[in-house]
Structure 1
Amino acid sequence: MLTNLKAQTLVEKEVPVYTLPSLTILNNGQEIKTAKVWENKRRDEIIALLKNEMYGTMPEKPKRMAFKVFDVDSNALNGKATRKQVRVIFDKKVDSVFMDILIYIPNKSRQPVPLILGLNFAGNQEALNDPKIKITESWVAKKSKGAINNKASEASRGYSTDVFPIERMIDEGYAAATIYAGDINPDYFNLTNAVQSLYLKLQNRKDNFSTIGAWAWGLSRAMDYFEKDNQIDEKRVVLTGLSRLGKAALWAGALDQRFAIVISTESGKGGDALFKREFGESVDRIIKVFPQWFCANFNKYANNVAQMQFDQHMVLALVAPRPLYIGTAQEDLNEDPKGEFLSLKAAEPIYKLYGFKGLPINEFPKVNSPVHNEKMGFHLREGKHGITAYDWDNYFVFIKSRL
């Protein structure tokens, strides 16, 4: 049993007074007033800070990476789509370390199509009940549907179609791609597995190559493949993620400006919610329950959030000026819905540097009342942690007018 975890505040009146670090003050104390200075100076300062203190370092794009298309079926989904399965081998000399991308491309388009990309929790076979999808051979959590001795089984096929609705994406005119996060790095505390085994020198340091960092890095490697696939419009790739995978999506989208739109669903602390509110999941709990998620330097902020010189509004601001949408749920207090909204609001100054307006409201919105502007979107739906058709309804509305 885990003990000595700091109590989690779930009462709004108990939120302490806090001050967020400035987005627009350079390390030398000067204030930035233009998007050019943001891009040339402040953006890099914030990335360096976040890498050193939280997400950890990460490798460059591999020089010996290879792509192997091992499955193509132009009659998938009753003829509506072409299914591809692509193996990304990070180092051709170590072909046992790889991730598999599952892709469906609508057949009705003769031009390169926009694509929606997201990691999944327990294997590509969960995304759709298609017997041709390769079942992951990587480690999966015991609680995963149909898992036997931490391995996926046939029982898991199509189990999470609601989380990443591939067939609906095809019907809406988008390609869909998903990757099992555990192919990149299994979600338990062993930082020498999978892709991290190729970069052991990045582990014996305080800003080590973390699990969230590895997942984000893997998403960028998927983008490397999309740039080579002439059926995909690599300029119109939407990046999504739920919960911990939303944390990875935000970090990948913050760093890699090739992603056209970034959407986070209930990614909470370490994703889109403010740490300094100390509402919901605590830093203490993250460090003790999920020590692999962030780098070793992050551990010093247990019971010490006030000393952070960063917060998650900085991650959201790094997405600017690209469109960014945050979706959350009323009963998901652990993820701090209000803190997610306030984090998005706190990122507005950078969007304004580019000449865009902030969200049209300042107060936390009512349930099921989505708010959008040209570059930002937010909704609070009724219900608990997860992702629903309502979430996707709003995401599709947002995406359609911004790609």
Structure 2
Amino acid sequence: MPTRLRSPASFTLIAALTVAVASPVIAQKTYDTGASDTEIRIGNIMPYSGPASAYGTAGIIEAAYFRMINDQGGINGRKINFISYDDAYNPSKAVEQARKLVESDEVLVVFNPLGTPSNTAILKYLNSKKVPQLFVGAGSTSFGDHKAWPWTMAWQPPYQSEGRIYAAYILKEKPDAKIAVLYQNDDFGKDVLKGLKDGLGDKALMIVAAEGYELSEPTIDSRIINLKASGADVFISVTTPKSAVQAIRKVAALNWKPLYIQGYASASVGSVLKPAGLDISQGILSAYYAKDGSDAQWDNDEGMKRFTAFLAKYAPDYSRNDISTVYGYGVAQAMVQVLKQAGDDLTRANVMKQAASLRDFVPDIVLPGVKLNTSANDHYPIEQLQMMRFTGEKWEPFGPVMSGEINR
């Protein structure tokens, strides 16, 4: 039989198929606005000025951490462009800055915007734009509500968890207590108060007085006077730094001697306890998930060694004794972990998917036993705290790491 010749086109097709089968599949790089082969743009909103300016340190440390990552070659060869704006702890200003980050700066994510009022104000906007509002710097339970706000994820333990943990401590150590609460009259203060009541359960009547103050009030002295008059022997201060300092001073001035619990949002030695006065801060209780940089017990801890070395090189003017410094380092480390997991799929959807796929991630600064775990149904990375007591010039943790998991 005559031999049938293939056409040149047939040879070309066969050769192409052979190469396709023999060659490994090359992963496709996928980008959304804010990412490219060379850059990842991350937006941030911080109160660098205004009544909560003490928290602005966190943004400075985050910027320094990303500089370190860039000096090390970036993330998969991409440098982080960190764009951080001041909102002065003003919700309307936060909305303005969020729009600027998304519509003008075209960031991939809005990372660790700080403050309950500000985050509440930008929540709907960022979710409508499907821009990750990632590792929110506030503990309102709404920031972990994955059903209502799928593009938002919390960072620190929910404030309701904090309130539940204080309730458990009081029920065990002072079951006949009369409790007075000073709280900021927004979702921040109300959430801690709700967690406290939920934790006390049928003993919630132990709360004999509660005063909500407005952030605009120049002083909370009169509220402290009212709370003392209630006859309470336990005082819980759910305050931002300025009001926390005032509360510590006024309680001392009134010679009131309650069991004093300071909410973790203002438990910083550097920005609260020292300005208030270390002598009058002795014995104050709080709860936290991170190591206290002022405590020498962590000097030989590997994670704290890395943290201390980072500060020495990239933020030498900032103290490891400041909770905001520790905080900024830890949350930036988590952001980098998420971006590493995202690989070359730097879409907003995949960034959220990876943020919801943390498995026993342990930042350098968290207490032993605290691990970050998330899922599609769990947008609260941290739900564990340990009680601590201020002694001398540092916080001393005591008791077990406690879970204050809330009902979802």
Whether the TM-score (by the shorter chain) exceeds 0.5 is no
TM-score (norm 2): 0.27
> So what's the TM-score if we normalise by structure 1?
0.27
**Structure label with greater radius of gyration:** 2
Higher helix share: 2
